[in-house]
Every structure is written in structure tokens, then in C-alpha cells.
Amino acid sequence: MKTARKLGIGMDHSNACLIEFSPDSFEMKNIESKFTSQEKKQALSKSESLMHHKENQQLSIYYKKLAEVIKGYNEVVLFGPTDAKVELFNVLNQEEEFGKIKIEIKNTDKMTENQKISFVKEYFSKA
């Protein structure tokens, strides 16, 4: 029997901490959005509409990167303090291929790296 691949993603609009869960270990990596505060200031100095366009474009690229990673998993929990997890969930729901992946959203406060690891371990240990 093939074991289910499980992934926790602690995220906000600028950074995602990906934690692959297995009962005896975990693997972590980060994916960052390219829309930095420096870019935001630069775009905003030109025009607010340019800033929003650039931000949406960069977020779209960020969510696509995360979607590519999620394709390899059976169960995913998206968590964090911002609406980024909901926005990603909505992007994933538009694609048919994510229909067979169990994806759940959990609201959490801002967490340290160790707290994120503990959250993912606890979440998947209950399941």
C-alpha cells in the first residue's frame, strides 16, 4: 500500500514554509514571493495602479509555484495569519486536478519555524 504524502504550508503573502510530514521525520523548504517591500515602494512611487498590477502578477507566480509542489501530495493543510491561504485555496479550486487532493485551511497566529513544525505534526497525527 502506498503511503499518503502529506504537506503543511505555513504561509502569508510573501513567504511559504513547506513542511512535508511523515511519522518519523519531516522535510522543510521555503518559497518566497518576489514582490518585496522594496518593489512595492518603487512601484507605488510611479502609480498605485501599477503597484497593484505588479503585486497581483507576482502573487499569481507565487501561487503557481506552490500549486506545482502541491500536485505531488494527497493531503495538504494551508495555515497562517493572513488571507493568502484562502487565495491559494481559491486558485487550486479552479483546477480540476486538485479535486482529488484533500486540502484544508486553518487560521493560525504568526508562528516561529518550530511552532509550524509542531502544528503540522499535531495536525497530521490526529488525521
pTM: 0.85
How confident is the model at residue 1, as a pLDDT? 39
pLDDT digits (tens, 9 = 90+) for 18-29: 999 987 778 899
> Which of 3.40.50.2300, 3.30.420.60, 3.40.50.40, 3.90.1150.10 would CATH assign to domain 6-126?
3.30.420.60
pLDDT tens sequence across 107-126: 999 999 999 999 999 999 87
Q: What is the pLDDT of residues 36-63, one digit of tens each?
A: 556 656 655 666 676 666 667 888 899 9
DSSP string, the chain: -PPPPEEEEEE-SSEEEEEEEETTEEEEEEEE-S--HHHHHHHHHH-HHHHHHHHHHHHHHHHHHHHHHHTT-SEEEEEESSTHHHHHHHHHHTSGGGGGSEEEEEE-----HHHHHHHHHHHHHH-
User: Residue ranges of the domains in the chain?
Assistant: 6-126
Alpha carbon distance 97, 26 (integer Å): 25
